Amino acid sequence: MPQRRIRTMASSELIVVDVGHGNCAIIQHGTEAIVIDAPAKPIVARILDELGIQSINYLVLSHADADHLSGAVPLILNRERPVAHVYVNPDRRTSQAWLRFRQAVATAHKEFQTATTVHPSVSTADSGTITMAGTTLHIVHPQPEMCLTGTGGIDIDGQKVTANNMSAVVLVEHNGNRICLLAGDADRRSLDRMVDNKANLHAQILIFPHHGGRAAVSDNRSFARDLVASVEPSVVLFSLGRGSHGTPRPEIVAGVREAMTEQPSPYIACTQLSARCATVLPASAPRVLDSRSDGFKDNRCCAGTLTLSLADDGLAKLLADLAEHHGNFVTKEVPGALCRKTLTAR
């Protein structure tokens, strides 16, 4: 196992990792961490090693899609860095990623005899809130009745439950500050349910759902506009892999721009440079804040991995750093970037 770099001072940070097409966020408190979603990319373990993380207190998986869950297997099977709690909803699928995950859970119990506790529910009621060192995770979707139905079933309102509309939506709060909304693969139905249940979605940062892809509705633009209007973020980030599924879709970026009527539009960025913005990669240029990014070696990064200090001035520093690195890069090197019109909005 690689030597871990132990920081001399305890850090409290939210790290949104560039994993290509997929999602992963790490909340660090000293040598302990919370991990939210984990695709099978080496960069996740590398960052945990470099941060000196010795234990994962909570591993929260929004749903069983491979780009959110497959990397949980090596985390659970790592004896050197135990996982105390795993939260995930049941799923009827027969995919290899879901099978391997369940096998890893069984191995951890039978062979490792670890203290890993698996919680087969992620809802507003069961798990509800998870707290560690001043950081609280609020599960704002799904509601328990949707979890009782399960993916593939028919909900109490007569509509089919899918992995996307049951994807967990997690709000990260620290010391009373609403830091980030991690929306997984939530869609229009998810948003409607949250609004109907009067969920408070306000957060400084929105990790946009489904990587900026189709949200299972005919009007993706209005979905993006309504979601961003509900969250009122200062930053909207698309976690995507260059060339994967054509994300972010232009109508979704347009909806994000239109959302804020009384406040400045949010700063828009993608972890990797979308093929929609540049068909050919520009010459290597410094634009990432953190080289610990899946696209760093191949020059595919745009904003790359983002790190937000959970201190009171963390958002202001992140915005300044984004403008200096990512904003200048996009302005000079990517004239066709979908986000370009928002770079001077703040």
Higher pLDDT, 128 or 226: 226
C-alpha to C-alpha distance for 188 and 162, rounded to whole angstroms: 12
Average pLDDT over residues 213-234: 91
In the chain, the amino acid numbered 132 is M
Average pLDDT over residues 219-225: 94
Tracing tokens 């804040």 back to the chain, one arrives at 289
* Domain assignments of the chain as residue spans, ordered by start: 12-342
Average pLDDT over residues 312-329: 92
Higher pLDDT, 267 or 116: 267
- Count Cβ atoms below 10 Å from residue 85 Cβ, excluding itself: 17
Task: Answer whether residue 6 shows pLDDT above 50.
Answer: no
Average pLDDT over residues 191-198: 95
Residue 178 has φ and ψ, to the nearest 5°, of: -85, 100
pLDDT in tens, 142-190: 999 999 999 999 999 899 999 999 999 999 999 999 999 999 999 999 9
Residue 148: alpha-carbon gap to chain centroid? 25
C-alpha to C-alpha distance for 193 and 146, rounded to whole angstroms: 10
Q: Which among 18, 46, 86, 4 has a CA at the least distance from the CA of 240?
A: 18
pLDDT in tens, 57-102: 999 999 999 999 999 999 999 989 999 999 999 999 999 999 999 9
Percent of the chain with pLDDT over 70: 93
Task: Supply the pLDDT for residue 1.
Answer: 30
Q: Do 272 and 240 contact (CB within 8 A), yes or no?
A: yes
Average pLDDT over residues 321-330: 90
Task: Answer whether residue 346 shows pLDDT above 50.
Answer: no
Structure tokens at 129: 């809130």
Structure tokens at 103: 């096998």
Task: Answer whether residue 3 shows pLDDT above 60.
Answer: no
Average pLDDT over residues 280-293: 78
**CATH superfamily name and code, 12-342:** Ribonuclease Z/Hydroxyacylglutathione hydrolase-like (3.60.15.10)
Higher pLDDT, 261 or 25: 25
Its pTM stands at 0.93
Task: Supply the pLDDT for residue 245.
Answer: 87
Average pLDDT over residues 227-256: 94
Task: Supply the pLDDT for residue 126.
Answer: 83
In the chain, the amino acid numbered 272 is Q
In the chain, the amino acid numbered 277 is C
Q: Which among 305, 304, 318 has a CA at the least distance from the CA of 26?
A: 305
pLDDT in tens, 106-137: 988 787 766 789 999 999 998 889 999 999 99
